Amino acid sequence: MQPRMQNPARVLDATQPIGDIYKATYSGGVPKTTLDLVHLRTSQINGCSSCVDSGSRNARKSGETEERLSAVAAWRDSPYFTEEERAALALTEAATRMADRSDPVPDALWDEVAGCYDEKGLAAIVLTIAVTNMFNRLNATTRQVPQDWGA
């Protein structure tokens, strides 16, 4: 597979500002492993091979286990995730699949997640979901191939 073009963020010299936004997510107090799972699950839903690849590699570097990485696509039926991780993954799916229902993130789901994280944590998760969706759309549209993005 060949990319259709260079990544648009690189073409328009936007990698640094996007990277800064992504780095800001780590200041919200949410464990990096949770944010890695959010990134990976978002990328799985969107079918972004580059981000699934880089997300899995980055999660491994952070100490994530193969067992949990293999199970994240079926997290609801897996015993490997904490209540907090499950809440973050539920929000990830809802916010990524916005067109699937008229109220993409119902109050009950928001309240569940807000019961696990403070406002900074919620901001970190929501921003991770949003930035990952952007990465996925850039990469899938231009057919970026998995590579070491220097993360």
Query: What's the CATH code of the domain at 73?
Result: 1.20.1290.10
> Does a structural domain hold residue 7?
no
Residues, the chain: 151
Asked if the structure places residue 148 within a domain, the reply is no
What is the pLDDT at residue 148?
Answer: 57
pTM, two decimal places? 0.93
The number of beta carbons lying within 10 Å of the beta carbon of residue 79 is 5
The boundaries of the domain holding residue 70 are: 14-141
**pLDDT of residue 127 exceeding 70:** yes
* Mean pLDDT of the 106-132 span: 98
Tell me whether residue 8 is in a domain. Answer: no
Report yes or no on 6 lying in a domain. no
Please check whether residue 72 lies inside any domain of the structure. yes
- Whether 43 is covered by a domain: the verdict is yes
- Structural domain count of the chain: 1
